[in-house]
Amino acid sequence: MNLDPRREIRALEPRMDPMTSQKATRLVLRTTVIAASVLALAACQSSRFAGGSPQPAVAASPGIITTTPLEPGLAAPTGVVEAEPLAPPPLDSTQIVATDQIVSDVPTSPQVAAIQTPTQAAPRVSRTTFVGTWRASEPGGGSCRVTLSSTPSLDLYRASSAGCQNEDLGRVSAWDLRGDQIYLYRQGGAVAARLSASPGSMSGALSRSGAPVALAR
């Protein structure tokens, strides 16, 4: 008689009650859930303590701001921005009033109108101004007399000299006023001297020699 060994093994295995098997499965599941909850709670507590510790604060450097590099093609900033000083505090109203009082107390100097003194016009000269006898200083150092007359002589006026050593002055016979200059003429109509004239004096030079000559009252 042949016997099947698998059947004999199955016959020897103890048979488990179905209710007992379900209870065991529930117990295993409950234990697994409890273990997973405990592990999750422990992980949360550890992460809380690890993340709640204060990090050391990094003190920022005052007045310096570091900028990030710009894209290529753009002007790069200097990287350091200096802090500008704050504006001065507004003035107190009492100080402003005091300043106004100080300014108002300063006496203002009276404005003096500029007085323009009229310029005196040069005295008007005419032929009659020079009519009379003049003392002539000769080039050699001597002196003589020259008389200018108001008597007409053709288109000139008569003149004469006395005691003059100089030939040109000794031969003066006429004179005339042209502008502010006196012309002395010799006999024959040649110019003996040309003088710049003023009411009290005349000075100039002899025509031929160029020597200086002066006439005074």
Most confident among 26-30, 101-105, 106-110, 169-173 (mean pLDDT): 169-173
Could you tell me if residue 137 is inside a domain? yes
pLDDT at 21: 66
Could you tell me if residue 94 is inside a domain? no
Could you tell me if residue 147 is inside a domain? yes
pLDDT at 29: 80
Amino acid at 19: M
Could you tell me if residue 53 is inside a domain? no
Q: Of all helices (H) and strands (E), which one includes residue 165?
A: none
pLDDT at 213: 95
Reported as a single tens digit per residue, the pLDDT across 127-150 is 999 999 999 999 888 999 999 999
97 confidence band (pLDDT: 50, 70, 90):
very low
Reported as a single tens digit per residue, the pLDDT across 36-54 is 777 877 776 665 555 555 4
pLDDT at 63: 46
CATH number at residue 183: 2.40.128
Could you tell me if residue 193 is inside a domain? yes
As a whole number, mean pLDDT of residues 63-87 equals: 53
Could you tell me if residue 112 is inside a domain? no
Min mean pLDDT across 13-17, 87-91, 188-192 is at 13-17
- pTM, whole model, 2 decimals? 0.45
**Tally of structural domains, the chain:** 1
DSSP conformation class of 186 = E
| Unique residue bearing structure tokens 């150092």 | 141
Could you tell me if residue 170 is inside a domain? yes
Are 195 and 202 in contact, with CB atoms under 8 Å apart? yes
Could you tell me if residue 100 is inside a domain? no
| Unique residue bearing structure tokens 């200018």 | 148
When computed from its CA atoms, the radius of gyration of the chain, rounded to whole angstroms, is 68
Burial grade of 41 (CB within 10 A; 0-12, 13-18, 19 or more): exposed
Q: Show the domain range for 185.
A: 127-216
The two beta strands, 181-186 and 132-137, are unpaired
pLDDT at 191: 96
Better-predicted residue by pLDDT, 193 or 41: 193
**What does the DSSP assignment read for 103-154?**
HHHSPPPPPPPP-PPPPPPPPP--HHHH-EEEEEE-TTS-EEEEEEEEEEET
Reported as a single tens digit per residue, the pLDDT across 104-129 is 455 555 554 555 665 665 567 789 99
pLDDT over 70 (residue 56) = no
Better-predicted residue by pLDDT, 88 or 81: 88
